[in-house]
């Protein structure tokens, strides 16, 4: 039996005390799917701490367990919307200091405190747990403990920078804070982040026993578990100096100077390594204040909020009416089919991979299995889970096994008659409610579905290669697609952990269309004699994950030409691929897949730009500067994005920005393609396009929407 001394019904947090005087501080935000530490929740925590202090003073409490009332989810972190609302550095610093004060108040309670972590524990949740005397975690795979703040362009600001190194040691703290990667319960125990791991399915008894041991004084608070080498590195001034220098070098390589937060986190840990606690907390709050209003954090926070918004692009009623996909047929076991099958199996769906060729099928199954292995190495799931997921995939050459599936994803060769045929075969093999999706890159969904008896069940699910890395899936609504098919496909994408963006059934959909002029212009620059590496370096310096020549190598020249032609035909010549690619294909160059692209490849590894290309390209002319190369490649993308927006290929500039980041790796720190254009200024973008059109041709002519916005000093996106 428990008493509930303070439990206003709408409270996100309550205190329960049992007959033995063991208190439970239970986080449970009724209206939200996860617990977050909004300022309201923190205020409530502060109030309850006051109550706890007086109960402790009266001898009513012997220990306190901090836990979540949500199933398999502890606390997901601060409320990111509030981060977006911080106006200036001082407000950011003050918010950080306020959180620190409350957590330190928890730390000072005169009874032992135990955080019970079952499920996601991120950011502020981890910092809260770090201010408890002990931590117990469950062995559930959803239990992950981390400080992902750098991914939002900030540092942990509720004491994480101060407490984590003092709990797990400097090296592990650096690793966790700089990568932002959460660790599962078992690893957390190994590094001393938690004191005990208990089975998720029967956690209460071992938890109670642990609390009893703590009360009886039978458990010592964990010390960082360091060997001799680690002690020398972490506990001596020269050792620490070396550690910080190595971390700085690594971070500089990884962030390429675009992301300030990891470097600033190192500064904080270095400045506070030997400092007093008060100084250390103050330094952390200052760093948070500086970063939180910077451009990079603003952009990363925007991207995070957009990714949340994307999940709600379909109204909740419609989503709830959607069928849950339990079994998936993937047709075509090529590059994409193998990846999509792995994705479905990883999401615990029964998955049937079908091909017409046994060898192709075997290769697809091997590829899917290798991806599952990779996920184990990346600690996405464990060996045992991998076995269960692998067992969910089967291969077949016949439609018999496909018959009972809820959803088919077609990923066969990119030829309309073949896809039409496959769709017809699927319709006759599968049940009347099965949804048929195509992964086509450039064909029309309506055309693929044209010969179906019920074309309304057809939808596009356009995945990006490599599927296991790229977070975006374009969900294509064709003219005739019915709401149920769309919602079912959309929900399936959500269930796999990918981010869906709904797009119209226009050639190239959204992402490939916006990318087409970028790749086309790259070809034209090459034809003018600008070297491969000069172009790639210019775009990498902008923050692109790889240059456009490298991207063409990865995509494959034949694929790029095919998609470019489809788009040029359906939309306009400005999207035509460069004729250079045709010549290269004639010479037997296809890109990375046959080891011959703009770059040389040996044993699958890249070896620099291929000198053999020089003879096929004009002699290097006067080189445009990097700025001009960027304008030539990026501004036509902005222009095409404006047209796509005008044609309602996508619902908003926000969703367009998200799609380009999640589908192509457009640099997140720039906030998105259109957000970037807004920061440059649309009048300037327009002027540059007019100048480029005069110099290089009509393909640069500014889009009507861009001109309209520039004319009235407008922007594509709303400032956040």
Q: Which residues have a catalytic role annotated?
A: 462
Q: Is the Cβ of residue 375 or residue 560 nearer to ligand NAI in the bound state? A: 560
Exactly one of 87, 377, 413, 588 binds ligand NAI (CB under 6 A); that residue is: 413
- Beta-sheet strands, E only, within 265-331: 327-331
What span, in angstroms and rounded, lies between the C-alpha atoms of 145 and 77? 11
- Closest contact distance (angstroms) between CB of 136 and ligand NAI is 45
Q: Which is nearer to ligand NAI, 356 or 701 (CB)?
A: 356
**Closest CB 527 distance from ligand NAI, rounded Å:** 25
**400 near ligand NAI, judged by CB under 6 A:** no
**Phi and psi at residue 643, to the nearest 5°:** -65, -45
Query: What H or E segment, with its residue span, contains residue 271?
Result: helix 261-272
Q: Which is nearer to ligand NAI, 130 or 551 (CB)?
A: 551
Query: Is residue 577 a contact point for ligand NAI (CB under 6 A)?
Result: no
From 72, 200, 403, 418, residue interacting with ligand NAI (rule: CB under 6 A): 418
**Which residue's beta carbon is nearest to the bound ligand NAI?**
334
Would you say 22 or 412 has its CB closer to ligand NAI? 412
Single residue of 38, 62, 441, 488 touching ligand NAI by CB under 6 A: 441
Q: Dump strand ranges (E) for 432-494.
A: 435-438, 458-463, 472-477
Give the residue with the Cβ less far from ligand NAI, 145 or 411: 411
Task: Name the minimum Å distance from CB 563 to ligand NAI.
Answer: 8
**Span of 125-133, 313-321, 408-416, 668-676 interacting with ligand NAI by CB under 6 A:** 408-416
- Give the E-state strand segments of 233-380 in sequence order: 327-331, 350-354
Q: How far is the CB of 454 from ligand NAI (least distance, A)?
A: 20
Which of 101, 593 has the CB closer to ligand NAI? 593
Could you tell me if 377 and 504 are in contact, meaning their C-beta atoms sit under 8 angstroms apart? no
Q: Are 411 and 367 in contact (CB under 8 A)?
A: no
Torsion of CA 211, 212, 215, 218, to 10 degrees: -100
Q: Is 356 in the site for ligand NAI (CB under 6 A)?
A: yes
Question: Among 184, 337, 455, 671, which residue interacts with ligand NAI (rule: CB under 6 A)?
Answer: 337
3-state SS class at 121: strand
d(C-alpha 508, C-alpha 204), whole Å: 53
Q: Which stretch binds ligand NAI (CB under 6 A): 289-297, 411-419, 565-573, 617-625?
A: 411-419
Distance in Å, CB of 395 to ligand NAI, minimum = 11
Rank residues 113 and 664 by Cβ distance to ligand NAI and give the closer one: 664
701 scored as a contact of ligand NAI (CB under 6 A): no
Q: Report whether 300 contacts 153 (CB < 8 A).
A: yes
Identified binder of ligand NAI from the candidate list 354, 367, 632, 670, rule CB under 6 A: 354
Element (H, E) at 144: strand 144-146
Q: Which of 439, 496, 578, 717 binds ligand NAI (CB under 6 A)?
A: 439
Output 189 or 365, the one with its CB closest to ligand NAI. Answer: 365
> Which of 152, 412, 677, 703 forms a contact with ligand NAI (CB under 6 A)?
412
Cα distance between residue 719 and residue 361, in whole Å:
49
Among 137, 333, 549, 584, binds ligand NAI (CB under 6 A): 333
- The residue within the footprint of ligand NAI, chosen from 355, 406, 654, 688 (CB under 6 A), is 355
Q: Can you tell me which residue has the tokens 């939309």?
A: 571
User: Contact at 8 Å (CB) between 80 and 305?
Assistant: yes
Q: What Å distances lie between residue 5 and 69, 118, 146, 171, 699, CA to CA?
A: 17, 24, 32, 43, 70
Name the residue among 396, 316, 388, 382 with its Cα closest to residue 349. Answer: 388
Pick from 5, 69, 334, 471 the residue near ligand NAI by CB under 6 A: 334
Tokens for 395, please give them: 């291969």
- Residue 687 half-sphere exposure toward CB, CA atoms < 13 A: 5
Cα separation values, 43 from 23, 82, 102, 447, Å: 19, 14, 9, 57
Phi, psi of 504 (to 5 degrees): -85, 160
Q: Which of 125, 332, 395, 500 binds ligand NAI (CB under 6 A)?
A: 332
Q: Looking at 347, 422, 445, 560, which residue binds ligand NAI (CB under 6 A)? A: 422
401 binds ligand NAI (CB under 6 A): no
Return the number of the residue (289 or 500) whose C-beta is nearest ligand NAI.
500
C-beta of 64: minimal distance to ligand NAI in Å?
Answer: 52
Asked whether 128 and 103 are in contact (CB, 8 A), the reply is: yes
Nearest distance from C-beta of residue 413 to ligand NAI, angstroms: 5
What CA–CA distance (Å, rounded) separates 400 from 163? Answer: 58
360 counts as binding ligand NAI under rule CB under 6 A: yes
Lay out the site mask for ligand NAI across 131-170 (x = CB under 6 A, - = otherwise): ----------------------------------------
Pairing of strands 435-438, 183-184: unpaired
The C-alpha angle 642, 447, 457, rounded to 5 degrees, equals 95
Q: Using the structure block, give the residue that is written with the tokens 């269930």.
A: 495
Among 39, 293, 465, 679, binds ligand NAI (CB under 6 A): 465
| Interface with ligand NAI (CB under 6 A), residue from 68, 126, 138, 440 | 440
- How many C-beta atoms lie closer than 10 Å to residue 431's C-beta? 9
Tokens encoding 518:
């970028």
User: Based on CB atoms, which residue is closest to ligand NAI, 5 or 334?
Assistant: 334
Contacts of 161 (CB under 8 A, 6+ apart): 155, 177, 265, 268, 269, 272, 280, 284, 287
CA torsion, ordered 675, 676, 681, 684, to nearest 10 deg: -140
Measure the CA–CA gap between 144 and 138, rounded to whole angstroms. 9
How many residues contact ligand NAI, by CB under 6 A? Answer: 23
Q: Which stretch binds ligand NAI (CB under 6 A): 39-47, 165-173, 244-252, 350-358?
A: 350-358
What order do you get walking across the sheet with 327-331 strand by strand?
Answer: 393-396, 350-354, 327-331, 407-410, 435-438, 458-463, 472-477, 499-504
Q: At closest approach, how far in Å is the CB of 461 from ligand NAI?
A: 10
> Under the criterion CB under 6 A, does residue 331 sit at the interface with ligand NAI?
yes
In angstroms, give the least distance from the CB of 96 to ligand NAI.
Answer: 43
Annotate 625-653 with b (16+ C-beta within 10 A) or e (fewer): eeebbbbbbbbbbbbbbbbbbeeebbebb
We find the least distance from the C-beta atom of residue 554 to ligand NAI, in angstroms, to be: 8
Q: Which is nearer to ligand NAI, 439 or 444 (CB)?
A: 439
Binding ligand NAI (rule: CB under 6 A), the pick from 28, 91, 414, 482 is 414
Q: Which of 198, 411, 473, 487 binds ligand NAI (CB under 6 A)?
A: 411
What tokens appear for 282 in the block?
A: 């103050």
- Nearer of residues 408 and 494 to ligand NAI, judged by Cβ: 408
Look up residue 301 and give its two tokens: 């926070």
Sites of contact with ligand NAI (CB under 6 A): 331-337, 354-357, 360, 411-414, 418, 422, 439-441, 463, 465
């Amino acid at each position: 039996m428990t008493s509930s001394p303070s439990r206003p019904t709408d409270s996100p947090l309550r205190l329960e005390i049992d007959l033995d005087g063991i208190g439970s501080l239970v986080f449970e935000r009724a209206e939200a799917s996860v617990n977050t530490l909004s300022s309201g929740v923190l205020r409530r925590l502060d109030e309850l701490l006051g109550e706890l202090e007086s109960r402790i003073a009266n001898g009513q409490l012997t220990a306190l367990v901090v836990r979540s009332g949500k199933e398999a989810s502890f606390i997901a972190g601060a409320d990111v919307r509030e981060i977006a609302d911080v106006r200036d550095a001082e407000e950011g610093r003050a918010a950080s200091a306020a959180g620190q004060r409350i957590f330190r108040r928890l730390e000072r309670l005169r009874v032992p405190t135990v955080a019970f972590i079952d499920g996601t524990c991120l950011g502020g949740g981890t910092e809260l747990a770090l201010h408890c005397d002990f931590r117990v975690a469950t062995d559930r795979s959803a239990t992950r403990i981390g400080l992902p703040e750098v991914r939002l362009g900030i540092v942990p600001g509720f004491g994480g920078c101060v407490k984590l190194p003092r709990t797990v040691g400097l090296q592990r703290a650096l690793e966790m804070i700089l990568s932002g990667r959460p660790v599962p319960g078992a690893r957390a125990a190994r590094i001393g982040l938690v004191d005990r791991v208990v089975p998720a399915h029967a956690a209460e008894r071992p938890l109670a026993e642990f609390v009893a041991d703590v009360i009886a004084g039978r458990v010592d608070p964990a010390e960082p578990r360091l060997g001799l080498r680690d002690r020398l590195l972490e506990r001596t001034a020269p050792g620490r100096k070396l550690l910080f220098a190595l971390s700085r070098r690594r971070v500089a390589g990884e962030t390429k100077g675009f992301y300030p937060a990891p470097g600033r986190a190192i500064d904080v840990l270095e400045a506070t390594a030997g400092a007093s606690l008060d100084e250390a907390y103050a330094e952390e709050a200052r760093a948070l204040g500086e970063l939180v209003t910077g451009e990079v954090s603003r952009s990363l926070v925007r991207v995070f909020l957009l990714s949340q918004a994307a999940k709600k692009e379909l109204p909740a009623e419609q989503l709830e009416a959607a069928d849950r996909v339990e079994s998936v047929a993937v047709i075509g076991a090529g590059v994409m089919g193998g990846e999509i099958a792995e994705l479905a199996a990883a999401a615990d769906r029964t998955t049937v991979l079908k091909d017409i060729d046994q060898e192709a099928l075997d290769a697809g199954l091997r590829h899917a299995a290798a991806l599952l292995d990779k996920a184990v190495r990346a600690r996405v799931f464990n060996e045992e889970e991998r076995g269960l997921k692998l067992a969910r995939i089967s291969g077949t050459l016949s439609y018999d096994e496909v018959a009972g599936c809820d959803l088919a994803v077609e990923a066969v060769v990119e030829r309309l008659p073949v896809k039409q045929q496959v769709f017809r075969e699927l319709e006759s093999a599968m049940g009347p409610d099965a949804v048929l999706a195509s992964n086509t890159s450039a064909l029309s969904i309506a055309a693929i579905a044209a010969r179906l008896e019920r074309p309304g069940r057809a939808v596009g699910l356009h995945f990006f290669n490599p599927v296991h890395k790229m977070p975006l899936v374009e969900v294509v609504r064709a003219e005739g697609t019915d709401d149920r098919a769309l919602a079912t496909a959309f929900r399936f994408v959500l269930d796999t952990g990918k981010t869906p963006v709904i797009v119209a059934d226009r050639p190239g959909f959204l992402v490939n269309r916006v990318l087409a002029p970028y790749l086309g212009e790259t070809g034209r620059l090459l034809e003018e004699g600008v070297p491969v590496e000069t172009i790639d370096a210019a775009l990498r310096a902008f923050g692109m994950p790889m240059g456009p020549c490298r991207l063409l190598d990865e995509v494959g020249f034949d694929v790029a030409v095919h998609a470019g032609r489809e788009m040029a035909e359906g939309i306009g010549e400005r999207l035509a691929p460069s004729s250079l690619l045709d010549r290269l294909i004639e010479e037997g160059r296809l890109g990375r897949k046959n080891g011959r692209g703009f770059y040389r490849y040996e044993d699958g590894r890249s070896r620099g730009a291929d000198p053999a290309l020089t003879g096929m390209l004009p002699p290097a002319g006067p080189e445009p500067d990097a700025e001009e190369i960027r304008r030539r490649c990026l501004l036509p993308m902005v222009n095409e994005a404006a047209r796509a927006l005008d044609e309602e290929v996508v619902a908003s500039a926000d969703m367009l920005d998200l799609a380009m980041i999640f589908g192509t790796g457009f640099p997140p720190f720039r906030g998105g393609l259109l957000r970037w254009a807004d920061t440059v200024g649309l009048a300037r973008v327009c002027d540059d396009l007019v100048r480029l059109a005069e110099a290089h041709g009509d393909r640069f002519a500014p889009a009507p929407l861009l001109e309209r916005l520039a004319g009235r000093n407008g922007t594509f996106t709303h400032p956040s």
